[in-house]
A and B are shown apart, each in its own frame.
Chain A
């Protein structure tokens, strides 16, 4: 009996080790897989999702928040709407469902995608999701100020993905899905709001270790971040 127990524990041990070893392999490509799942889910844009949610809520199909996120509640509401309106029930807003909702999808118009807004919302969410709203707008504004500055790259993507520029890019948090507040903050900054009036840097005084950043002239502190030029 004891032998059997010993054998069982040993096998368990082997399995654990093997799984740990193989886990190392899987882990390196894990982020990539998650990103692919996220990107395939986003069939409609955040703005369109908000419109869909607003319409469905008005007509009593949807009871969740108007947050622009096409989550399970929205999908369920779309399925409910489709079943009640004689459409094929797949939970996806394609051209027919969109027409029944009284809207036209941007993909069918001569519209261009707003990659800039998505990127800005991602960096805002990754770097400042716990901060007050004005602090989130300020993060997006710093990115845009860098685009304008000669000392930094000239595109939003160039600034965000400049190596070593943002810790959220290095540790992969940039790939988290932003919430509606991050989108609103990014939109405000794109529309010209900048509570920092041209700042190029920010840091958290409680955690910043760089001596260089402390030498910059500080302009304003919003939430946990100090903004500097």
Chain B
């Protein structure tokens, strides 16, 4: 039996040994293929593993950084929110204290503190991720309260007292602040419960987000906002000021264009572009000047005066000096009907020179009616003109030089100053007030100052200092 098996094995071995060459080749190829597939799979797996690892590491670092930025931003927003909360809480407390007090000195001190709190609240609320469209009423309230309380405090300093109308306004303000305070405190509780400002401020869809809705005053229909009529910044009366200098008839587009042609005699490239329908109503033209620069020229629909010209001007080597530029500017204002102008300030920046020209009436310089002109000194052409202040304020005025002489005003200035010049001026004071003063230009320690003495009582109305900046001189 064993012999038979042995013979069979030998046969098989012989069969293998003597199998056809092709079959052996096929077997070898199949084996190689298998090896290759295994190798490829191993490499692919390795590659995938390494790629995932690399991507994972990169993503993890990125996420970690992103989280860091988010946390930092959330902290800044939290800080601003709590600052606003504190400021509004303090502001409301102070307004209610003023309402309950009868002492002028206490009211004055507390009004000044309230003004500071309102100002701080404005800075904080403006730094929060709120939809600007819906938060405007909130910002307006704190801004106006800041201006109003400061004006009332100033009034008390000058010996006045709070009128019943003032007290009514303060009471209305207090009601608005109470509502805002409640909304802020509600949100502070939510923050304590883990709500994130960043998450609440996402999805600024339709100009609002969740966070804004919680802080916006405009959502409360039951609150009546006080209209604050006072002589201070952001007063409703100042914001809604009117144009005094244009009282004539409406001109046609063709007449307006003729006035543009009068100013730009050497060009025929004047094209009507559009109309402005705002505080001023104007016809707008595009004018190509002799330097091939396109200027935007606006002409008033009432009376047809050139109101503004906007042009960049060129950069390069100047062909006119400042004195020549001055004459070009004065000639240009004359063409536009302002005969008695005087250059009261000029400053050159690069190749442009900016000038303020004020009309003079009875030797009194009318500062409220300033006209601004920009001359391109490379070509000696007018590339900028702005008469909005002139047409907003210019009226026939009866002006008196009062009792103060120029030498009298000179004597009022400190002896430490060197007096350079004196003249009568009509000066605009804060918020639509005008006063005739003597302007005394004086220098001390290389600093230039302008003092303004009221001609009626000799009081010092204002002091301006020339501040050198990187881009010209400022009067502040």
Check if A14 is an interface residue, CB within 8 A of chain B: yes
Chain A residues whose CB sits within 8 angstroms of the CB of B133 once the complex forms:
212
The residue that A66 contacts in the complex, of B137, B315, B388, B446, with Cβ under 8 A, is: B315
Chain B positions 38-55 with a Cβ under 8 Å from a chain A Cβ: 39-40, 43-44, 46-47, 50-52, 54-55
- Could you tell me the distance between the alpha carbons of A182 and B279 in the complex, rounded to whole angstroms? 26
**Which one of A70-78, A79-87, A93-101, A159-167 is at the B interface?**
A159-167
Check if B350 is an interface residue, CB within 8 A of chain A: yes
- Could you tell me the distance between the alpha carbons of A112 and B107 in the complex, rounded to whole angstroms? 38
Chain A nearest CB, measured from B355 CB (Å): 10
Does the CB pair B308–A195 fall under 8 Å?
yes
Among B51, B128, B467, B472, find the residue whose CB has the most chain A CB atoms closer than 10 A. B51
Does the CB pair B58–A24 fall under 8 Å?
yes
Check if A68 is an interface residue, CB within 8 A of chain B: yes
Chain B nearest CB, measured from A83 CB (Å): 24
Chain A nearest CB, measured from B125 CB (Å): 9
Does the CB pair B278–A20 fall under 8 Å?
no
**Which one of B86-94, B138-146, B150-158, B259-267 is at the A interface?**
B138-146
Check if B471 is an interface residue, CB within 8 A of chain A: yes
Chain B binding surface SS class? mixed
Chain A residues whose CB sits within 8 angstroms of the CB of B59 once the complex forms:
21, 24
Q: Chain A residue with minimal CB distance to B374? A: A188
Q: Mark A163-179, 1 if CB is under 8 A from B, else 0.
A: 11100000000000000
Q: Chain A residue with minimal CB distance to B372? A: A192
Chain B residues whose CB sits within 8 angstroms of the CB of A154 once the complex forms:
119, 122, 143
Does the CB pair B43–A162 fall under 8 Å?
no
Q: Mark B50-84, 1 if CB is under 8 A from A, else 0.
A: 11101111110110011001000000000000000
Chain B nearest CB, measured from A37 CB (Å): 20
- Could you tell me the distance between the alpha carbons of A221 and B281 in the complex, rounded to whole angstroms? 13
Chain B residues whose CB sits within 8 angstroms of the CB of A48 once the complex forms:
470
Does the CB pair B127–A180 fall under 8 Å?
no
Check if B367 is an interface residue, CB within 8 A of chain A: no
Does the CB pair B471–A45 fall under 8 Å?
yes
Q: Mark A1-33, 1 if CB is under 8 A from B, else 0.
A: 001001100110110011011111101110000
Question: Assuming A25-B62, A195-B310, is B206 touching A211 (CB within 8 A)?
Answer: yes
Check if A110 is an interface residue, CB within 8 A of chain B: yes
Does the CB pair B239–A150 fall under 8 Å?
yes
Chain A residues whose CB sits within 8 angstroms of the CB of B131 once the complex forms:
164
Chain B residues whose CB sits within 8 angstroms of the CB of A192 once the complex forms:
372, 386, 388-389
Does the CB pair B130–A163 fall under 8 Å?
yes
Chain B nearest CB, measured from A35 CB (Å): 15
Check if B234 is an interface residue, CB within 8 A of chain A: yes
Does the CB pair A133–B312 fall under 8 Å?
yes
- Could you tell me the distance between the alpha carbons of A11 and B137 in the complex, rounded to whole angstroms? 60
Chain A residues whose CB sits within 8 angstroms of the CB of B388 once the complex forms:
192, 194, 197
Does the CB pair A132–B296 fall under 8 Å?
yes
Among B126, B239, B388, B472, find the residue whose CB has the most chain A CB atoms closer than 10 A. B126
Q: Chain A residue with minimal CB distance to B43? A: A10
Check if B402 is an interface residue, CB within 8 A of chain A: no
Check if B245 is an interface residue, CB within 8 A of chain A: no
Check if A91 is an interface residue, CB within 8 A of chain B: no
Check if A134 is an interface residue, CB within 8 A of chain B: yes
Check if B368 is an interface residue, CB within 8 A of chain A: no
Chain B residues whose CB sits within 8 angstroms of the CB of A11 once the complex forms:
47
The residue that A219 contacts in the complex, of B44, B58, B278, B470, with Cβ under 8 A, is: B278
Does the CB pair B315–A65 fall under 8 Å?
yes
Does the CB pair B278–A198 fall under 8 Å?
yes
Chain A positions 177-208 with a Cβ under 8 Å from a chain B Cβ: 180-181, 184-185, 187-188, 191-199
Check if B311 is an interface residue, CB within 8 A of chain A: yes
Does the CB pair B239–A212 fall under 8 Å?
no
Among B140, B206, B310, find the residue whose CB has the most chain A CB atoms closer than 10 A. B310
Does the CB pair B296–A21 fall under 8 Å?
no
Does the CB pair A163–B274 fall under 8 Å?
no
Does the CB pair A219–B47 fall under 8 Å?
no
Does the CB pair A25–B470 fall under 8 Å?
no
Does the CB pair A184–B313 fall under 8 Å?
yes
Check if B284 is an interface residue, CB within 8 A of chain A: yes
- Could you tell me the distance between the alpha carbons of A24 and B56 in the complex, rounded to whole angstroms? 11
- Could you tell me the distance between the alpha carbons of A169 and B47 in the complex, rounded to whole angstroms? 41
Does the CB pair B279–A152 fall under 8 Å?
no
The residue that A117 contacts in the complex, of B50, B122, B147, B471, with Cβ under 8 A, is: B471
Chain B residues whose CB sits within 8 angstroms of the CB of A43 once the complex forms:
none
The residue that B58 contacts in the complex, of A25, A193, A197, with Cβ under 8 A, is: A25
The residue that B204 contacts in the complex, of A25, A153, A164, A195, with Cβ under 8 A, is: A164
Does the CB pair A162–B55 fall under 8 Å?
no
Does the CB pair A196–B54 fall under 8 Å?
no
Does the CB pair B126–A162 fall under 8 Å?
yes
Chain B nearest CB, measured from A47 CB (Å): 5
Chain B residues whose CB sits within 8 angstroms of the CB of A185 once the complex forms:
312
Does the CB pair A134–B471 fall under 8 Å?
no
Check if A106 is an interface residue, CB within 8 A of chain B: yes
Chain B residues whose CB sits within 8 angstroms of the CB of A28 once the complex forms:
62, 65-66, 69
17 new A-B contacts, CB < 8 A, other than A65-B315, A112-B470, A158-B127, are A3-B36, A3-B39, A6-B40, A10-B47, A14-B50, A17-B52, A24-B59, A58-B317, A106-B469, A106-B470, A133-B296, A149-B239, A150-B140, A153-B123, A162-B126, A193-B384, A229-B278
The 5 closest A-B pairs by CB, nearest first: A21-B58, A18-B54, A134-B296, A219-B278, A150-B234
Give 26 CB contacts A-B under 8 Å: A3-B36, A21-B58, A28-B69, A47-B350, A48-B470, A50-B349, A111-B468, A112-B470, A113-B469, A117-B470, A132-B294, A133-B311, A150-B234, A151-B139, A162-B132, A164-B131, A165-B132, A187-B471, A192-B389, A195-B276, A195-B308, A197-B276, A198-B279, A210-B207, A212-B206, A222-B274
